[in-house]
């Protein structure tokens, strides 16, 4: 396993992070515990979750993922062996069962942290992230631009101030954002510089062979400001595993179970994945190996978040740390990218 530090910190994390959004819905508690055990055996020390997990989020299962991680922590006694990241859910997703007020303010952030700490059965969170902007912005594959008036008022400074207080209390160690825009990330960074407030260490956004929009939107910000990318959906909800190219498909596969996740389920995305699969096959690789190796080789990626519903998938995903891509493979990948530019933004 390879390691790095969360940018501007002394927190060492594995270059692969175990994503857990299936725990509590597609995976049982026992399966979740087995995944964590195996990940640690392979050198992974970084686990990511969120208060709204499992996904799709619904009231009967809300918070179950954190609870499963919490029971593992209590049973194993290995809290100091892992770097634990979680997220506060924000507005614009229609999740009233989480909190009546889904805005980011002192009350909601403190409430969210305390409930996550309770579910996780720990006294601190290593990386606390804002799951998506409060503002009405384009995200999750939305194209086009429409001026969207909302009641949001600029609160970057006050949000960072609240997070600073939580750091002082020892409840969280570092802060990050997720599904954020270049403007939003720069505003957080601007306020941290102006007022000596916590600096955003990481941004958790999608990045994969079928979604490289980070390169043209957020890369320069992260490079110049030293913010690390935690790349999620590196296999595009499994579209880059090759399983959706099979004539007979598993009805329990995520895109078959949850067809509403259309972002990765378009005809152009499937066509691109077919072309990438051909490149991988010609190079003696599986599509999974090539797709994950591509993400892991990027200098701006601090850690690649992998998720699996079976141990076989988890083992294959982790094993990709040993895969290197040749210049010729990269050249072929670029040809497909030029033909199908970011079909799943």
User: Between residues 260 and 157, which one has the greater pLDDT?
Assistant: 157
pLDDT of residue 248 exceeding 60, the answer is: no
pLDDT at 139 (0 to 100):
67
User: How many helices and strands, by DSSP H and E, does the chain display?
Assistant: 12, 10
- Using alpha carbons, select from 143, 179, 136, 204 the residue that is nearest to residue 343: 143
Distance, in Å, from the CA atom of 84 to the CA atom of 6, rounded to the nearest integer, reads: 12
The average pLDDT across 6-23 equals: 97
- What Rg do the C-alpha atoms of the chain give, in angstroms? 19
pLDDT of residue 246 exceeding 90, the answer is: no
- 101 three-state secondary structure: coil
Burial zone of 234 (CB within 10 Å; 0-12 exposed, 13-18 middle, 19+ buried) = buried
The average pLDDT across 118-140 equals: 91
Which residues are known catalytic residues?
A: 53
Residue 43 · residue 1 · CB < 8 Å: yes
Torsion angle of the four alpha carbons 299, 126, 42, 256, in this order, in degrees rounded to the nearest 10: -80
pLDDT at 263 (0 to 100):
72
Q: Quick one: pLDDT band at residue 140, thresholds 50, 70, 90?
A: low
The average pLDDT across 124-152 equals: 81
Does pTM surpass 0.85?
yes
pLDDT of residue 148 exceeding 90, the answer is: no
Distance, in Å, from the CA atom of 14 to the CA atom of 46, rounded to the nearest integer, reads: 6
Q: Quick one: pLDDT band at residue 152, thresholds 50, 70, 90?
A: confident
Query: Tell me: the pLDDT tens digits for 274-293?
Result: 999 999 999 999 999 999 99
pLDDT of residue 335 exceeding 80, the answer is: yes
pLDDT at 93 (0 to 100):
73
User: Between residues 90 and 338, which one has the greater pLDDT?
Assistant: 338
pLDDT of residue 264 exceeding 90, the answer is: no
Residue 173 · residue 125 · CB < 8 Å: yes
DSSP bridge partners of 204: 178, 230
180: DSSP letter? -
The whole-chain average pLDDT of the chain stands at: 93
DSSP bridge partners of 129: 87, 176
Domain map (residue ranges) of the chain: 3-339
| Size of the chain in residues | 345
Q: Is 159 left (phi over 0), alpha (psi -120 to 50) or beta?
A: alpha
Per DSSP, helices labelled H in 45-168 are 64-76, 106-120, 156-168
The average pLDDT across 313-319 equals: 96
pLDDT of residue 149 exceeding 90, the answer is: no
The average pLDDT across 211-215 equals: 96
pLDDT of residue 247 exceeding 60, the answer is: no
| Cα-Cα-Cα-Cα dihedral sign, residues 182, 183, 184, 188 | positive
Query: Tell me: the pLDDT tens digits for 19-52?
Result: 999 999 999 999 999 999 999 999 999 999 999 9
Cis peptide before 102 (omega within 30 of 0): no
Query: For a pLDDT cut of 90, what percent of the chain falls above it?
Result: 82
Topology of domain 3-339, CATH: TIM Barrel (3.20.20)
């Amino acid at each position: 396993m390879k390691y790095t530090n969360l940018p501007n910190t002394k927190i060492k994390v594995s270059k692969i992070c175990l994503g857990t959004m299936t725990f509590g819905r597609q995976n049982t508690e026992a399966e979740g515990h087995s995944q964590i055990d195996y990940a640690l055996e392979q050198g992974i020390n970084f686990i990511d979750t969120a208060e709204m997990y499992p996904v799709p989020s619904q009231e009967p299962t809300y918070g179950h993922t954190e609870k499963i991680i919490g029971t593992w922590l209590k049973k194993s006694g290995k809290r100091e062996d892992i770097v634990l990241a979680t997220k506060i859910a924000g507005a614009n997703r229609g999740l009233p069962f989480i909190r009546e007020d889904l805005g980011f303010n002192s009350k909601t952030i403190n409430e969210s942290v305390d409930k996550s700490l309770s579910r996780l059965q720990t006294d601190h969170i290593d990386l606390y992230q804002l799951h998506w902007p409060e503002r009405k912005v384009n995200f999750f594959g939305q194209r086009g631009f429409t001026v969207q008036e909302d009641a949001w008022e600029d609160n970057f400074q006050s949000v960072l101030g609240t997070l600073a207080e939580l750091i002082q209390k020892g409840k969280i160690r570092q802060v990050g954002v997720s599904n954020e825009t270049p403007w939003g990330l720069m505003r957080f960074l601007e306020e941290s510089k102006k007022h000596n407030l916590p600096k955003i260490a990481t941004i958790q956004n999608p990045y994969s062979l079928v979604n490289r929009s980070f390169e043209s939107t957020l890369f320069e910000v992260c490079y110049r400001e030293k913010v690390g990318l935690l790349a999620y959906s590196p296999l595009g909800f499994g579209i880059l595993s090759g399983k959706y190219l099979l004539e007979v498909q598993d009805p329990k596969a995520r895109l078959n179970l949850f067809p509403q996740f259309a972002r990765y389920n378009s005809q152009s995305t499937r066509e691109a994945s077919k072309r990438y699969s051909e490149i991988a096959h010609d190079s003696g690789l599986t599509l999974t190996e090539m797709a994950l190796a591509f993400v892991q080789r990027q200098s701006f990626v601090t850690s690649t978040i992998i998720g699996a519903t079976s141990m076989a998938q988890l083992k294959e995903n982790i094993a990709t740390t040993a895969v290197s891509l040749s210049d010729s493979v990269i050249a072929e990948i670029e040809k497909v990218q030029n033909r199908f530019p970011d079909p799943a933004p």
